[in-house]
Every structure is written in C-alpha cells, then in structure tokens.
C-alpha cells in the first residue's frame, strides 16, 4: 500500500497522521481509500435515454469476444449489447421494452428442446420478466412472463431489480425479483424457480423473503452462487444478506454497509478470487465511490463484512455494476469491472486498475 493512499484513508477516518507514517497492514483494520481517481479503459457508446444496470456474458469459445448487456431505462427502453471495447452491436439490441431497470445473465438453462445461456430483465411498466437467449438475443417467451401474481397493490407490482441464481448442487435455476415498493414484513423479494418446457420458460414461485426498512426501495440484488448467498441494497440503510437456496430458510444473515454512505446504496457486484474469497463492491451513488467488503467475511464470522476500502471511480452517480474475475483477452487479464454512469454510458475498467495497491487480483 502506498503511503499517500494510506494517509488519505486515515484522514477519511478522522485520524491525524504525519507524512512520514509507515504503511499499516489491512489486518490492523485500518481502512485505506484509493486517493487517485480510477479511470476506465473504455466507455461504451451512448444509449438513447438512461443507462441503469449492466451484466456480462462470457463467451466460452473466446472470452475476448464476451458481451456486456446493459439496460436503457425508459418507457421506450431497450437492452443494449456491447463488445468489450464498448462498441454497441446494433444487430443484437432489443428495443421496445417498457422501462427495463436491471439485467442479469445465466448459463446452461435446459429448455428440453435445447440448452441456452440467457439474459433476463424486468419490464417495470408491465410487471413482466423478459428472457432472451445468448448470444443471439432472441426472446424465449415472446412478450415476457408476469410476476407478483395475486399482489393486489399496484405500488407493490412495480418491478425493478432482478438477479439469477444457479444452485451448484442441484442445478436448479432461480430468478429473484425486487420492486420499487413493498411490505416491511419480510416478503419484499419474490424468488421463482425457472423451469424449461417445450422450448419455453415457466416460473414457479418458491418463496417470498427479505426485510425492508420502508425508507426508499430495494433495487440492486446480487447472488454469490458458489457460497450460496443473496445480497441486496436497502437504499439509504445498508446491505442485507440471505441464503440463496430457498430450502435454507429466510433468516437474515448479515446487515452491513450501514455507515459511511452519503446517499443511496446502489449497485452490488462480486469479484471472486477463488470459490470462497474475494470482494463485494457496493456503489455509494452520491459520492461516486465504491465501498469494498470481504466476500468471505472475517476469520471468525463468515457474515461479518467490514469495510476494506473505498474506490473513487470516474462514474457519475453510478447505479448498477458488475464484476468478473475471468481473463477476458489481453485488455482484461484479471477480469473487469463495468458500471453505469449517469451520462448515458457504461464505463469499463480493468480490475487491476480498480484494485490498485490495496486489493488483490485473480491470477
């Protein structure tokens, strides 16, 4: 860790240090903050209306030809598809989606007549999930599938966040749906099993879970499939953690990132060093910072996620983000980080630039 970065981190904690101070190691629980602004290697082409959330599809044949899928959030919205240099691929863009907020990517879904990788987005104005096969972006169930059936309050049907979970033990696929508003009784999020049949998708509701403060909303949702956890941002309050497997119950396992945010808690992404370790990055939208927490928790408690550092990136008021630790060609030997910026673009970073002197990179 460089001395100037350490001093900046200590100053952020209100600790006075001199310029000759020696670096203090992370295990001494000193939070360091990246001093210099991290800049992207590429910025995507602009969308028409309003970027919100990205996802990454890894091309199994040639990772350097992987794709970034991003939402253009508007009543006349779209799913944009970009290459890793940020160039929009016009032939793959799906338009006329009514206000898509979030998007996520899944792999190896059995539809009986074929197995597909796929993207899912929430169509907010219709309360429908829209599924598209990858990499061709052809819709699987034309027109989408309605969620929140039986929910009588219109305010509770305003679909926003989506995330996918594939259980590594059973192979089952799930989608978790969040919304603009919902009850505070622990049933804010709805989780559906994704079932393939005759080339299409059916959804089976398996649980309702998730506490809610009632202050703002829950949009950002991220899943750690290897460790089996779901994280979501209760905006303005903190990040909450639950089991991803519905059979393990609805106990809230952790409630962290409650301090040090200037405004909304937004996008969550996970950078995996291996199957069990890595980082959870959470957007502090009002400060243009990303707060970083240990994916594995602490040595004594896997659900203790204390702040490691804050990264200042050049994104503007960032909402959604995504991380991946796989090598994606010569530009991204240790993976990449992509985040929405409030100028109608997504910014694409090399992970090692985000990591700086403080965080590790996957070899």
Residue 60 counted as domain residue: yes
**Is residue 106 scored above 50 in pLDDT?**
yes
Q: Which of 32-36, 42-46, 137-141 has the lowest mean pLDDT?
A: 32-36
Asked if residue 77 and residue 27 are part of one domain, the reply reads no
- Give the pLDDT confidence of 300-346 residue by residue, as tens digits: 999 999 999 999 999 988 889 999 999 999 999 999 999 999 999 99
Q: Is the peptide bond before 218 cis (omega within 30 degrees of 0)?
A: no
**Is residue 111 scored above 50 in pLDDT?**
yes
What is the rounded CA–CA span in Å between residue 263 and residue 246?
31
Asked if residue 8 and residue 149 are part of one domain, the reply reads no
Asked if residue 46 and residue 28 are part of one domain, the reply reads no
Query: Could you give phi then psi for residue 6, rounded to 5 degrees?
Result: -65, -45
Tell me 38's DSSP state: B
pLDDT at 286: 82
Number of domains in the chain: 2
Q: What is the pTM of this model?
A: 0.89
The residue range of the domain holding 5 is: 1-33
Asked if residue 40 and residue 4 are part of one domain, the reply reads no
- Give the pLDDT confidence of 199-258 residue by residue, as tens digits: 999 999 999 999 999 999 999 999 999 999 999 999 989 999 999 999 999 999 999 999
Residue 362 counted as domain residue: no
Q: Residue 267 to residues 204, 211, 270: CA-CA distances in angstroms?
A: 27, 18, 10
- Give the pLDDT confidence of 61-70 residue by residue, as tens digits: 999 999 999 9
Asked if residue 205 and residue 116 are part of one domain, the reply reads yes
Tell me 150's DSSP state: T
Asked if residue 246 and residue 114 are part of one domain, the reply reads yes
What is the rounded CA–CA span in Å between residue 9 and residue 121?
38
pLDDT at 33: 56
Asked if residue 83 and residue 213 are part of one domain, the reply reads yes
pLDDT at 31: 54
Asked if residue 53 and residue 105 are part of one domain, the reply reads yes
Asked if residue 170 and residue 305 are part of one domain, the reply reads yes
Asked if residue 162 and residue 307 are part of one domain, the reply reads yes
């Amino acid at each position: 860790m460089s001395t100037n970065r350490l001093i900046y981190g200590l100053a952020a904690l209100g600790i006075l240090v001199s310029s000759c101070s020696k670096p203090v190691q992370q295990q001494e629980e000193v939070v360091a903050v990246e001093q210099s602004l991290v800049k992207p290697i590429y910025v995507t082409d602009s969308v028409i209306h309003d970027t919100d959330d990205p996802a990454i599809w890894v091309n199994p044949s040639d990772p350097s030809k992987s794709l970034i899928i991003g939402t253009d959030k508007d009543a006349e919205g779209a799913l944009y598809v970009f290459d890793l240099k940020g160039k929009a691929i016009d032939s793959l863009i799906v338009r006329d989606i009514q206000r898509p907020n979030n998007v996520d990517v899944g792999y190896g879904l059995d539809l009986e007549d074929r197995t597909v990788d796929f993207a899912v987005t929430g169509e907010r104005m219709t309360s429908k999930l829209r599924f598209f096969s990858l990499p061709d972006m052809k819709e699987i169930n034309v027109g989408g599938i309605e969620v929140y059936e039986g929910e009588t309050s219109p305010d509770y049907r305003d679909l926003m966040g989506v995330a996918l979970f594939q259980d590594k033990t059973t192979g089952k696929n799930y989608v978790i749906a969040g919304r603009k508003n919902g009850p505070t009784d622990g049933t804010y999020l709805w989780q559906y099993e994704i079932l393939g049949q005759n080339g299409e998708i059916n959804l089976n509701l398996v649980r309702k879970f998730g506490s809610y403060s009632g202050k703002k909303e829950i949009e950002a949702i991220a899943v750690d499939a290897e460790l089996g956890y779901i994280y979501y941002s209760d905006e303005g309050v903190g990040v909450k953690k639950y089991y991803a497997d519905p059979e393990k119950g609805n106990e809230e396992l952790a409630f962290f990132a409650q301090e040090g945010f200037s405004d909304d808690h937004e996008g969550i992404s996970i950078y995996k060093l291996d199957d069990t370790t890595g980082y959870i990055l959470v957007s502090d939208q009002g400060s243009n910072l990303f707060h970083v927490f240990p994916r594995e928790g602490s040595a004594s408690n896997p659900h203790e996620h204390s702040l490691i550092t804050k990264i200042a990136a050049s994104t503007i008021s960032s909402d959604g983000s995504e991380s991946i630790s796989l090598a994606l060609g010569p530009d991204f030997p240790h993976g990449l980080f992509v985040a929405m910026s409030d100028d109608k673009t997504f910014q694409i970073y090399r992970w090692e630039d985000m990591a700086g002197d403080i965080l590790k990179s996957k070899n």
